[in-house]
Chains A and B, each alone.
Chain A
Amino acid sequence: MIRTLLLSTAAMISMTAAASAQNVAIVNAKVWTGTDAGTLENATIYISDGTVQGMGVSFAPPSGTAIINADGNWVTPGIIAPFSRVGTVEVGAEDTSNDTSASGSPFSVALRASDGFNPAATTIDVTRIEGVTRIAVAPANGGSLIAGQGFVADTSGGAGSISDDRAFIYIDMGEGGAGLAGGSRPAAWAALRGAFADARGYPARFMAHNEGDTLTRADAQAFGTAVRGQQLILVSAHRASDLRLIMDLKTENPNLDLAIVGADEGWLVADELATANIPVIVDPFSNLPASFSQLGATSRNAERLIAAGVPTAFAHLGNSGHQSRLVLQSAGNAVANGVSFDDAMAAMTVVPAAIFDMDGVGTIERGSNADLVIWDGDPLDVTSAPTAIFIDGAVQSMESRQTKLRDRYLDLDESERPLAYKR
């Protein structure tokens, strides 16, 4: 009862002043740290000023600190959904509520997904209450194989939840990109090389006229940071031959910061990817030859990539606007198919934090962000759920529009009044 009271009090505080964090100690926790310390039993985590200020089995928080007893349950870093559209689309099929792509825009790199982000979107709460505290949101391809710039945000729903509004460029170099470039992979690669030349030649080559080989003036300007290796380029592709072309791009431009999303045939080139040190974001569910680019798809892809030493993150790539939360289920399935528990956890925390350069996120250690989830069971199992969530040390609401609908309809009794009065 005390614990419940504490949480609900804290939740009220966090809802009135989302950014403020309290001094809290979580005791009796089974902590997956994401560090060399491994998993700690019966540990205490002391949170102050939005960060973890102390942790350990024998750590004693300052007297007067509010205590939350985890009762021996798992506490993990907040989960990161590394390829999402959460917060940029409310209803997928309703264009007016969907800011993921813009097939009518003349721009490509210059499109910033962050301009479409609505931290009050219902998808934010729905995603957070499953334990996902950070999202990397990619624009979707509209008119160009270069979709634009993605961002990184937390899922607190607050006004300042974007931590990096231009975290990466997203480019589709698979079948979709080929189609958008004119109808073939050669067309896609010609367009991409043209874009690199435009960015490198900016602004000189735009002096005489506004058009580059591939990019508009605004796009070429926006692409400069990535081309200089100072911004992540996230490239989507599946076929082994496409993955080799991406590695060739890195060989020709060693300074590029590249990561690959998809990579269903990654296991076929796992050793090369490891040597090239190119991280991948894979969907562990993907095991069908869904296209001619995915003939080698297997549920063992993640296991083989990790065994080869490829930094591997997990994402649920189906319905990225609403179901990014399923990254946890996909990680559990990866474990069922050969990945270790620790590697699966890292694939949703440490690895994506490294890919997106999210300082202090993805681990629980002294000085790390206090993005924490307390679970009622094994965090990777489908039967488990969070019981408490912290973002930057602030306790988060466990409500969503879905839980409100559920609570309204749990009892269908309308004998006194219509259900519309119940909330």
Chain B
Amino acid sequence: MKQVLYLMASASVLLAGCGSSGSGDSSDAAEAIEINRNPYPSTYTAYPSTTTLIKDAMVLDGIGGEIAGGDVLLVDGKVSEIAEEIAAPDGATVIDASGKWVTPGIIDNHSHLGVYPSPSVSAHGDGNEISGAVTAEVWAEHGIWPHDPGFPRALAGGVTSMQILPGSANLFGGRGVTLKNVPARTVQGMKFPDAPYTLKMACGENPKRVYGYGGGRFPGGAPYSRMGNVAGYRMAWAKAVEYKRKWDKYADEGGDPPTRDLELDTLMGVLNGDILVHMHCYRADEMAQIMDLGDEFGYKVTSFHHAVESYKIADKLAEKGVCSSMWADWWGFKMEAYDGIRENIPMVHKAGACAIVHSDSDIGIQRLNQEAAKALSDGRRSGIEISNADAWQWLSANPAKSLGIFEQTGSLEAGKSADLVIWSGDPFSVYGQAEQVFIDGALMYQRGNEAMTPVMDFELGQPGEGDLK
């Protein structure tokens, strides 16, 4: 049995007071201490599903393939087969999807649902631990309210998985978490099984505004400038390198275990390659500096977020293999968003870099397909030819890769989770709507069917309960 360190560090007082059994006793020198990397494990299991054959749809497999009039077979919650013609197995539910489109479920890798839920009252502001510039020790999942009515709205937009991130006030905002978009009583009931943890970091204006200027309320502290931002990252990573060295040494040589530090646990997870870095960064020049920062301390940014200037360094992002998670057209709300253009996403794609459409919005998450369509058509008008099938990578495969869940989901390939959407028509149109959304093969949403439309606790007994939303 592996000893769990946090019991020793923080719960021993409690345990001592209630005559615990040996589980909290760490005095046994023969047993090596190991940090529990998954103390709040997922309890999600797939809901029951039937063998389902979707027939005669325009099928986008999410990795560049397209079958007009194709069939998709779902068995035991997995994609079993995609082909031009599949015979219905005995007992299969057959869905006539002629005139409709089938795609992998949309994955939004930048959402604050649950941590900034609706209604956005002050008591619900659980997305930024503003108490310090470096709060790598906090975890978004501990701030998520699973009853956020935003979750079922996103489901109606075809979103089957999402990353919930802490906000961007801090240099290190804390850990993100990847969820299945399935209503649950607990956060654990939504957690994507075996998804790696992520770390939210932030560049630029937000940290220096929040800390340096203190929202105008007090003189503030560090960071006050972009210089201070980078110094803050470097000091934290330097501590993390040292912390990791101690744990590596302890693992190799034994002796007294290092003192546990929750902040450095997260950073060490990045240095060990277990935790993926997602970094809010608008300006191209800052992204270039941050890529060097990663080289300095031995990690790689998985995806820059917002990244409104990625088009200026798309070649460098491609070379480094760093994704950009982007809006189609947000701009101008602050200085670092001033150079936003409508062709950012296709220009990043064209350079061979990884492009992702993200929302950062409880409204935008409901129509990410439209955001992709805008970017795609604006790109085409400026001479960048990208097929619909390739563009769908922005919505499912690339975000799945950025979250370390592409082996399980993000494309329609045999053996993968049956997370998919049947659209009423072309989803690269404002008129195409998600009609049926499957998660692990189970139908979780059906447009116009009250029985298949979740109503969250908060909405019960309120105006519009159970209404079309």
Contact B431 A332 (CB under 8 A): yes
A residues less than 8 Å from B430 (CB atoms) = 329, 332-333, 335-336, 380-382
Quick check: is B218 within 8 A (CB to CB) of the other chain? no
Quick check: is A120 within 8 A (CB to CB) of the other chain? no
Q: Kindly identify which residue among A93, A122, A298, A406 contacts B334, using a CB–CB cutoff of 8 Å.
A: A93
Quick check: is A186 within 8 A (CB to CB) of the other chain? no
Quick check: is A299 within 8 A (CB to CB) of the other chain? yes
Q: CA of A384 to CA of B432 in the docked complex: distance in angstroms? A: 15
Q: Kindly identify which residue among A123, A291, A323, A332 contacts B121, using a CB–CB cutoff of 8 Å.
A: A291
Contact A91 B341 (CB under 8 A): no
Interface size class of B (residues with CB under 8 A): 35 or more
Contact A265 B463 (CB under 8 A): yes
Quick check: is A112 within 8 A (CB to CB) of the other chain? no
B residues less than 8 Å from A265 (CB atoms) = 463
B residues less than 8 Å from A376 (CB atoms) = 381
B residues less than 8 Å from A403 (CB atoms) = 341
Least CB distance, A215 to chain B, in whole angstroms? 29
Least CB distance, A347 to chain B, in whole angstroms? 15
Q: Kindly identify which residue among B209, B363, B378, B429 contacts A288, using a CB–CB cutoff of 8 Å.
A: B363
Least CB distance, B177 to chain A, in whole angstroms? 22
- B interface secondary structure, majority: loop
Contact A287 B469 (CB under 8 A): yes
A residues less than 8 Å from B312 (CB atoms) = 409, 412
Least CB distance, B346 to chain A, in whole angstroms? 10
Give the contacts of B404-460 with A (CB-CB under 8 A): 428-433, 458-459
Quick check: is A179 within 8 A (CB to CB) of the other chain? no
Contact B333 A381 (CB under 8 A): no
Given contact pairs A94-B334, A329-B430, A410-B383, A288 touches B118 in the complex (Cβ within 8 A): yes
Q: CA of A55 to CA of B55 in the docked complex: distance in angstroms? A: 48
Contact B341 A93 (CB under 8 A): no
| Binary flags per residue of A377-393, CB closer than 8 Å to B gives 1, else 0 | 00011111100000000
Quick check: is A421 within 8 A (CB to CB) of the other chain? no
Given contact pairs A289-B149, A296-B464, A380-B430, A323 touches B329 in the complex (Cβ within 8 A): yes
Q: CA of A36 to CA of B367 in the docked complex: distance in angstroms? A: 34
Interface size class of A (residues with CB under 8 A): 35 or more
Least CB distance, A271 to chain B, in whole angstroms? 16
Least CB distance, A307 to chain B, in whole angstroms? 14
Least CB distance, A88 to chain B, in whole angstroms? 12
Q: Kindly identify which residue among B121, B341, B383 contacts A292, using a CB–CB cutoff of 8 Å.
A: B121
Contact A382 B377 (CB under 8 A): yes
Quick check: is A92 within 8 A (CB to CB) of the other chain? yes
Q: Kindly identify which residue among B205, B433, B464 contacts A336, using a CB–CB cutoff of 8 Å.
A: B433
> Which A residue sits closest to B367, measured CB to CB?
A333
A residues less than 8 Å from B338 (CB atoms) = 91
Quick check: is B370 within 8 A (CB to CB) of the other chain? yes
> Which A residue sits closest to B205, measured CB to CB?
A93
Quick check: is B314 within 8 A (CB to CB) of the other chain? yes
Least CB distance, B59 to chain A, in whole angstroms? 20
Quick check: is B127 within 8 A (CB to CB) of the other chain? no
Given contact pairs A295-B463, A410-B382, A382 touches B429 in the complex (Cβ within 8 A): yes
Q: CA of A31 to CA of B119 in the docked complex: distance in angstroms? A: 43
Least CB distance, A239 to chain B, in whole angstroms? 9
Quick check: is A290 within 8 A (CB to CB) of the other chain? yes
Quick check: is B158 within 8 A (CB to CB) of the other chain? no
A residues less than 8 Å from B458 (CB atoms) = 289
Quick check: is B212 within 8 A (CB to CB) of the other chain? no
> Which B residue sits closest to A288, measured CB to CB?
B118
Least CB distance, A404 to chain B, in whole angstroms? 9
A residues less than 8 Å from B335 (CB atoms) = 91, 93-94
Quick check: is A160 within 8 A (CB to CB) of the other chain? no
Given contact pairs A91-B335, A285-B363, A288-B363, A383 touches B373 in the complex (Cβ within 8 A): yes
B residues less than 8 Å from A296 (CB atoms) = 462-464, 467
B residues less than 8 Å from A126 (CB atoms) = 331-332
Contact A299 B469 (CB under 8 A): yes
Q: CA of A52 to CA of B339 in the docked complex: distance in angstroms? A: 37
Quick check: is A362 within 8 A (CB to CB) of the other chain? no
Contact B333 A322 (CB under 8 A): yes
A residues less than 8 Å from B366 (CB atoms) = 285, 287
> Which A residue sits closest to B370, measured CB to CB?
A382
Q: Kindly identify which residue among A91, A385, A409 contacts B377, using a CB–CB cutoff of 8 Å.
A: A385
Least CB distance, B433 to chain A, in whole angstroms? 6
B residues less than 8 Å from A92 (CB atoms) = 332-334
Quick check: is A321 within 8 A (CB to CB) of the other chain? yes
Q: CA of A403 to CA of B382 in the docked complex: distance in angstroms? A: 10
Quick check: is B180 within 8 A (CB to CB) of the other chain? no
Q: CA of A388 to CA of B194 in the docked complex: distance in angstroms? A: 52
A residues less than 8 Å from B314 (CB atoms) = 412
A residues less than 8 Å from B332 (CB atoms) = 90-92, 122-123, 126, 319, 321-322
Of B149, B334, B463, chain A has the most CB atoms within 10 Å of the CB of: B463
Give the contacts of A305-360 with B (CB-CB under 8 A): 318-319, 321-323, 326, 329, 332-333, 335-337
Least CB distance, B284 to chain A, in whole angstroms? 9
Q: Kindly identify which residue among B153, B333, B341, B377 contacts A406, using a CB–CB cutoff of 8 Å.
A: B341
Q: Can you list 21 residue pairs at the A/B interface with Cβ under 8 Å?
A: A92-B333, A93-B205, A93-B334, A240-B463, A265-B463, A285-B366, A287-B366, A289-B459, A289-B462, A290-B120, A290-B362, A296-B464, A300-B467, A332-B430, A333-B430, A336-B433, A402-B341, A405-B339, A405-B341, A410-B383, A412-B312
Which residues of B line the A interface, CB within 8 A?
118-121, 149-150, 153, 205, 209, 311-312, 314-315, 329-335, 338-343, 347, 351, 362-363, 366-367, 370, 373-374, 376-378, 381-383, 428-433, 458-459, 462-464, 467-469
7 closest pairs, A vs B, by CB? A332-B430, A296-B463, A93-B334, A296-B464, A322-B332, A92-B333, A383-B377
Given A91-B335, A382-B370: 7 more A-B contacts, CB < 8 Å:
A94-B334, A240-B463, A289-B458, A319-B332, A380-B430, A402-B340, A406-B347
